[in-house]
Amino acid sequence: MTLRAAGIAVHFGALRAVDGVDLAVGPGEAVGMVGPNGSGKSTFLNAVTGVVAARGSLEVAGRRVPLGRPGAIRRAGLARTFQSPQTFRELTCIENVLLADRDRHATGLAGAWLGRRAMWRRERRRWARALAALDRVGLADRAEEPAGLLSYGQQRMLELARALVGEPAVLVADEPSAGLDDTETAELARLLGDLPARGVSLLVVDHKLDLVEQVADRVVVMQLGRVIADGPPAEVWRRDEVVEAYLGRRGAARG
Amino acid sequence: MLEVRDLRVTYGTTVAVDGVDLDVGGGEIVALLGPNGAGKTSTLRAISRVVPATGTITFDGEPVGALRPEAVARRGLVHVPEGRHVFPNLSVHENLLVGRSARDGRPSAFEVDDVYDLFPELVPLRSRAGWALSGGEQQMVAIGRGLLAAPRLLLLDEPSLGLAPTVVDRVYAVLTEVAGRVPLLLVEQDTERALRLAARAYVMAAGRVALSGPAGEVAGRDELVASYLGRTATVRDGA
Amino acid sequence: MERFVSLFVTGVAQGAVFAVVALGFLLIHKATGVINFAQGDLVTLGAYIAIWAATDLELPLLGAYAVAVAALAAVGVLIERFAYAPIRDRSIHVVVISTLGAALVIRAVIVLWRGTSPTRLRGPLGFEVVEVLGARIPKQNLLIIGVTAVCVAALWLLFHRTQFGRQVRALASDRMAAQMQGIRVARMSMLTFGLAGGLSALAGVLIAPTRAVTVDLGFGPMLYAFAASILGGMGSIGGVVVGALAIGLVQQLGGGYLSPDYAEVYPFVLMLLVIALRPQGVLGSEVRARL
Amino acid sequence: MPGSEVGTAPVAAEPAARPARDRDVRPPVYRQRQLHGVAAVAALVVALSLGVDSAFGHGLLHSWLIYSVVGLGFYLVFSLSGQFAFSQGAFVGLGAYASVWASEGRSFAWGLLAAVVLSAAVALAFAVLVVRSDHFYFAIATLAFSHIALIVFRELESFTAPGGEIVGIPKPDLFGHRFASGQDLALLLGAFLVLALLLTALVERSPLRREAVAFRDNRQVAATVGVPVLRLRLGMFVLGSTYAGVAGCLFAHTSGFISTESFALELGIDIFLVVLLGGAGSMWGPVLGAAFVVWAPEQLRFVGEYRALIYGALLVAVVVAFPGGLVGLVEAAGRWLRRGRGAVRLRSVGERA
């Protein structure tokens, strides 16, 4: 399994935001996660990416990784994007991407002061990779502009480029289509849809069911911090508990 | 009573609300529906002035678009926010008492005891801190706090958000009970419940009002379902 | 035994003064999220104004104290208006540096006005002592403890039993929701700075009779108040008071039984240990500082 | 020049990663001209040390150079990696006492070595101790640290001297030469400033800069993209504190006299002023800010005892009204000039149409 999360639980005071969630994503698999607002999807993503303290166990690309260690989780091959795009506004676009490169040789003081030659050599490779990642999301032209100057949609794309630069084993995307217009959403769907073929597994949370259907072969439905359904989209949409919790009774009529 | 014209909210370069017109008459229950990211919450926040916006907002004939949020609340335009925002370090009882800050001398239809009558669940929790409440209990406190502000119009943002169906039933039972006494502008994802409560509804998609009319009519339109499933293109064509 | 009792009472009295400073500091921090680095110099200014009112104006001592408290409440409001309100939405670094600048101005004003040579402020009880378990305790120390106890009780009631107090606490935990509830945040922030100014002056007049008054009078108490707030977890009134008493006791007992040269160091060592082992404070649960 | 080979080097051979169109492969941050700036400062120091002929003038020059080194260190800790530390003044003191202690009866080089090793080691130990604290707690912890340090300087007489006062510290000697004259000292201090600038410039022209800025802007997000936040935080703190230690060593041997007073709160405030007045957004900020902090009090001499008052008001005014500091003003002036030229061109186009 590329990603295996078992028994993930997050409590805020008395509120059980995530209440024992098991989820596995296989190699080259794309999984969609849906559920009403406040059902714990984002908190679950925050837990498996180490941003909030959680209980449970986590495996990335077949290796156990401790929860609560965002850096170690990223280096193990789990990359993410955020619900509202989190770019470093004062850095240029390409620097944003460079930050996430897996090759961390000569990035410290030793590289800056002593190993300048090695640092430049590595940096040129990192630079080429970062530029390629930016090119993939259509931002190569803006590489040297501060990220703060990008539009909202472009910031999302930049975040995606940053997540994809190290060829992660799995990408976790938190509402990647929020705030995007139709053309941007279509472009996003194309980018995400290509990932499994490139060997990157995908876990995507989104409210646009069209997008989820388009990119995911499996859908997980969450409600009140638990998984209430898991299966192929067409089948999951028909289940009563999903209809009740999420689509509303009228929504079922469409199927 | 509340008149909103050409409301626009932008975050950086993103347009969240793109020219919304909206009216709520005295004593009316109005629902504001639409999928996530359609701009419902931003509309509500713009009306209560916690996010900057352009356009005109008139409440009871008076422009409120330039006031501070606390001044808007003191005029009786009271907002029960998404995510409830119960004060975590105050007890249930104290949260309710703080609700009275916005009265500004207006007579109130509700006192603290009335709130306990509406939500008897809260009585044993009187002295429990806000952070230790469940989501449903927090929602009850938030609604009670809003009612104690002597609202002339209550803006309710997603009162069913993240709550178990039985709790949603409780919350809506109370909303139905108070609906005759307090006008409501209700933002909701649970279309069905909202349309049962409201007399009129607006449906938003991509920052605009895509559809509006009496609740019964709105409920029958296909665009409503379409907008929820992300087929925003259909909605725009219809609008 | 006498030695212990004497050190203990002095420690509690010193801790009580730190508690008063820390409460003012906590008040501002809770209502606005700001760490006010001018708090120490407000203590000093309070003591100097009391000295001025008692000697130059020849007011009775309690009148002089009242003048100091009132004047410092006004100074607190001025700081809020000039050093905080204009930059409220800027980064917390900016706000902290701005309060540092305010501290520098106050300090400079004191030096210009009263010079740098040490002076004294009489206590209302002079140098009278009372014997407790064989130890000779200055009555001033007992006065400090008594006044602080009253003050803490009054503040507790203010915070928990009045609408003002509930509003401050609401503002502290969720500014946006507080605004939505119609709480006038600008007025609240002025009031809390004013109240904190008054508390500083009170701490100043309480501590001044126990030592020579110089322009550095308030600096130490401010540092200890910071330490007390951290020990108490930056949370409740009770936590801060317990933290402040612990600081005062550690300082006096450490100075008395270990080495007096390092008496000032022990409280900070305690604080650093707490930060290292339990960053959220001994009594605290969650930290919500804006810095 | 360490970076000079870059311009001619071909793109690394990774066909799949090769972007569609050919472009220069240097990130823009590496195109900056920090090294030219370092050379300019070096030339300025030489010119000033030759041009100034009064002991008073040399005193100001020395202060500027030392303050600049301290400020550069604080730039790394505070401006670049966003750590709100009050400990910089204490590390100046630690360096000063350590160097006097170690160089007694030996050469200056031993003192310098001791200052570097001791300030780096103490900074590391302290940073590791409080590594779980953030923001406000960290600020207070550093404040407590500097208070403890002052008391230790005063009381630990075997390390410092009775009361922490040491007089008659010999002038520095290196390579058999004693830097006794004002001019010699200015050149020596200038060499240290150039070294400090060079080391900072190399950090600015390296991946460390972007990681520090990312850490400063949002440490949580930085961690999720794989920035080693812990190493970065400790590293920058230790580095900046070591700059302070070296500056302390230079200060002790230049002035010949130290006491705990020299490292009290006033020094801490001065360091904030140096960085903020100069402009926290640029490594040149501290150099400009130090010049101002050293030069302005002399110009303000006529205001006499109101100096401290004006200083405090200035601090508030700067953070409220000029967030970019002096560097920001210079940049704004540059932009204004350029915009002026642009406007003229636009108008001429309009006339032709």
What type of residue is C109?
V
Residue C178, min C-alpha distance to chain B (Å): 8
Res A103 pLDDT > 50: yes
What type of residue is D341?
R
Give the residue from chain B lying closest to C185, CA to CA. B70
Confidence of residue C220 (pLDDT cuts 50, 70, 90): confident
What type of residue is C200?
S
What three-state secondary structure class fits D153? helix
- Looking at residue D32, its pLDDT comes to 65
Structural domains in chain D, CATH included, are 33-321 (1.10.3470)
Could you read off the pLDDT tens digit of each residue along chain D, which spans 353 residues? 333 333 333 333 344 444 444 445 555 556 667 888 899 999 999 999 888 888 888 899 999 999 999 999 999 999 999 898 889 999 999 999 999 999 888 889 999 999 999 999 999 999 999 888 877 788 888 988 998 999 899 888 888 777 778 888 888 888 878 888 888 899 999 999 999 999 999 998 889 999 999 999 888 899 999 899 999 999 999 999 999 999 999 999 999 889 888 888 778 878 988 888 888 888 899 999 999 888 877 777 666 677 777 777 877 777 777 777 888 888 888 888 776 554 433 332 323 32
CATH architecture of B2-229: 3-Layer(aba) Sandwich (3.40)
Confidence of residue C46 (pLDDT cuts 50, 70, 90): very high
What three-state secondary structure class fits C137? strand
Res A82 pLDDT > 70: yes
Ramachandran area for residue C182 (φ above 0: left; ψ -120 to 50: alpha; else beta):
left
* D281 interaction partners in chain C (CB closer than 8 Å): none
Q: D216 touching C, CB under 8 A?
A: no
- Looking at residue A148, its pLDDT comes to 87
Do both A217 and A92 map to the same domain? no
Q: Best residue in A16, A18, A19, A37 to probe B by mutation, most B CBs within 10 Å?
A: A37
- Looking at residue A164, its pLDDT comes to 92
How many Å apart are CA A236 and CA A34, to the nearest integer? 11
Give the residue from chain B lying closest to A243, CA to CA. B190
Q: A250 touching B, CB under 8 A?
A: yes
Alpha-carbon distances of B34 from A181, B3, B227, D110, rounded to whole Å: 16, 20, 7, 73
Do both A95 and A123 map to the same domain? yes
Q: DSSP per residue over C21-89, as a string?
A: HHHHHHHHHHHH----TTHHHHHHHHHHHHHHHHHTS---HHHHHHHHHHHHHHHHHHHIIIIIGGGTT
Q: Do chains B and D touch (3 or more CB pairs under 8 A)?
A: no
How many Å apart are CA A168 and CA A97, to the nearest integer? 13
DSSP 8-state code for residue C288: -
Residue C203, min C-alpha distance to chain D (Å): 21
Do both A93 and A162 map to the same domain? yes
Asked if C169 lies within 8 A of B79 by C-beta distance, the reply is: no
Residues, chain C, total?
Answer: 291
Residue A235, min C-alpha distance to chain D (Å): 34
- Looking at residue D194, its pLDDT comes to 95
How many Å apart are CA B153 and CA B25, to the nearest integer? 10
How many Å apart are CA D91 and CA D240, to the nearest integer? 9
Are C74 and C68 in contact by the 8 Å Cβ rule? The answer is no
How many Å apart are CA D328 and CA B10, to the nearest integer? 29
Residue owning tokens 């051979």: D13
Mean pLDDT on C182-206: 92
List the domain range (segments joined by +) for residue A252.
1-77+169-189+198-255
CA angle, D21 as apex, D17 and D26 as ends, to 5°?
Answer: 70
Residue B86, min C-alpha distance to chain A (Å): 13
- Looking at residue B153, its pLDDT comes to 94
Which stretches of chain A are DSSP H helices?
Answer: 41-48, 70-76, 93-98, 109-113, 116-136, 152-164, 182-194, 209-215, 233-238, 240-242, 248-252
Are D80 and D250 in contact by the 8 Å Cβ rule? The answer is no
- Looking at residue D10, its pLDDT comes to 38
- Looking at residue B26, its pLDDT comes to 84
Out of A80, A111, A131, the one facing D19 most closely (by C-beta) is A131
Mean pLDDT on B3-12: 88
Asked if D143 lies within 8 A of C82 by C-beta distance, the reply is: no
Asked if B132 lies within 8 A of A13 by C-beta distance, the reply is: yes
Asked if D235 lies within 8 A of A132 by C-beta distance, the reply is: no
Give the residue from chain D lying closest to A140, CA to CA. D19
Res B214 pLDDT > 80: yes
Mean pLDDT on C148-154: 92
- Looking at residue B122, its pLDDT comes to 94
DSSP 8-state code for residue D261: G
How do residues B52-66 score in pLDDT, each as one tens digit? 899 999 999 899 988
Q: How many domains does chain A have?
A: 2
Q: pLDDT higher for A215 or B161?
A: A215
Q: pLDDT higher for C93 or D226?
A: D226
Which chains, if any, share at least 3 CB pairs under 8 A with chain A? B, D
The answer for residues whose C-beta is within 8 angstroms of residue A20's C-beta and 6 or more apart is: A7, A8, A9, A56, A226
Q: pLDDT higher for D167 or C46?
A: C46
Q: What interface predicted TM-score (ipTM) does this complex get?
A: 0.82
Confidence of residue A251 (pLDDT cuts 50, 70, 90): very low
How many Å apart are CA A199 and CA D16, to the nearest integer? 15
What three-state secondary structure class fits A227? strand
How do residues A22-45 score in pLDDT, each as one tens digit? 999 999 899 999 887 778 888 899
- Looking at residue D339, its pLDDT comes to 67
Nearest C-alpha neighbor of C165 from the set C173, C155, C175:
C155
Residue B62, min C-alpha distance to chain C (Å): 18
Q: Which residues of C touch D (CB under 8 A)?
A: 35, 82-83, 86-87, 90, 92-94, 96-98, 100-109, 111-112, 219, 223, 226-227, 230, 234, 261-262, 264-265, 268-269, 271-272, 275-276, 279, 287, 289-291
What type of residue is C173?
S
* D148 interaction partners in chain C (CB closer than 8 Å): 265, 268-269
Asked if C102 lies within 8 A of D305 by C-beta distance, the reply is: no
Asked if B12 lies within 8 A of A208 by C-beta distance, the reply is: no
Do both A111 and A1 map to the same domain? no
Are B219 and A248 in contact by the 8 Å Cβ rule? The answer is no
What three-state secondary structure class fits A67? coil
Nearest C-alpha neighbor of C29 from the set C239, C250, C268, C249:
C239
Nearest C-alpha neighbor of D87 from the set D237, D187, D259:
D237
Nearest C-alpha neighbor of B74 from the set C183, C172, C169:
C183
Give the residue from chain B lying closest to C235, CA to CA. B89
Q: What is the CATH number of the domain that holds A160?
A: 3.40.50.300
Confidence of residue A219 (pLDDT cuts 50, 70, 90): very high
The answer for residues whose C-beta is within 8 angstroms of residue A151's C-beta and 6 or more apart is: B12, B13, B14
Count of pairs with CB atoms under 8 A, one residue in A, one in D: 139
Cβ neighbours around C193 below 10 Å, total: 30
Mean pLDDT on A74-82: 91
Residue C129, min C-alpha distance to chain B (Å): 43
Are C25 and C229 in contact by the 8 Å Cβ rule? The answer is yes
Mean pLDDT on C260-280: 81
Residue owning tokens 């300030």: D119
How many Å apart are CA C214 and CA C115, to the nearest integer? 9
Mean pLDDT on C19-27: 90
* A19 interaction partners in chain B (CB closer than 8 Å): none
Q: How far apart are the first and last CA of chain D?
A: 49
Q: C176 touching B, CB under 8 A?
A: yes
The answer for residues whose C-beta is within 8 angstroms of residue A100's C-beta and 6 or more apart is: A74, A79, A162, A163, A165, A166, D225, D226
Q: pLDDT higher for D29 or A64?
A: A64
The answer for residues whose C-beta is within 8 angstroms of residue A149's C-beta and 6 or more apart is: A142
Mean pLDDT on C7-36: 88
Residue B155, min C-alpha distance to chain C (Å): 11
The answer for residues whose C-beta is within 8 angstroms of residue A163's C-beta and 6 or more apart is: A79, A80, A81, A100, A171, A173, D225
How many Å apart are CA C258 and CA C253, to the nearest integer? 8
CA pseudo-torsion sign D141, D146, D151, D152: positive
Count of pairs with CB atoms under 8 A, one residue in B, one in C: 75
Asked if B230 lies within 8 A of A211 by C-beta distance, the reply is: yes
- DSSP3 helix / strand / coil % (chain C, rounded to 5): 75, 5, 25
Q: Where are the domains of chain C?
A: 19-215
Out of D132, D133, D315, the one facing C101 most closely (by C-beta) is D315
Residue C130, min C-alpha distance to chain D (Å): 33
Phi, psi of C179 (to 5 degrees): -65, -40
- Looking at residue C97, its pLDDT comes to 80
Do both A60 and A3 map to the same domain? yes
- Looking at residue C36, its pLDDT comes to 87
Do both A182 and A154 map to the same domain? no
Count of pairs with CB atoms under 8 A, one residue in C, one in D: 120
Phi, psi of C113 (to 5 degrees): -85, -45
Q: A14 touching B, CB under 8 A?
A: yes
- DSSP3 helix / strand / coil % (chain B, rounded to 5): 40, 25, 35
Res B236 pLDDT > 50: no
What three-state secondary structure class fits C166? helix
How many Å apart are CA B194 and CA B172, to the nearest integer? 9
Residue A58 pairs with which residues in a beta bridge? A5, A65
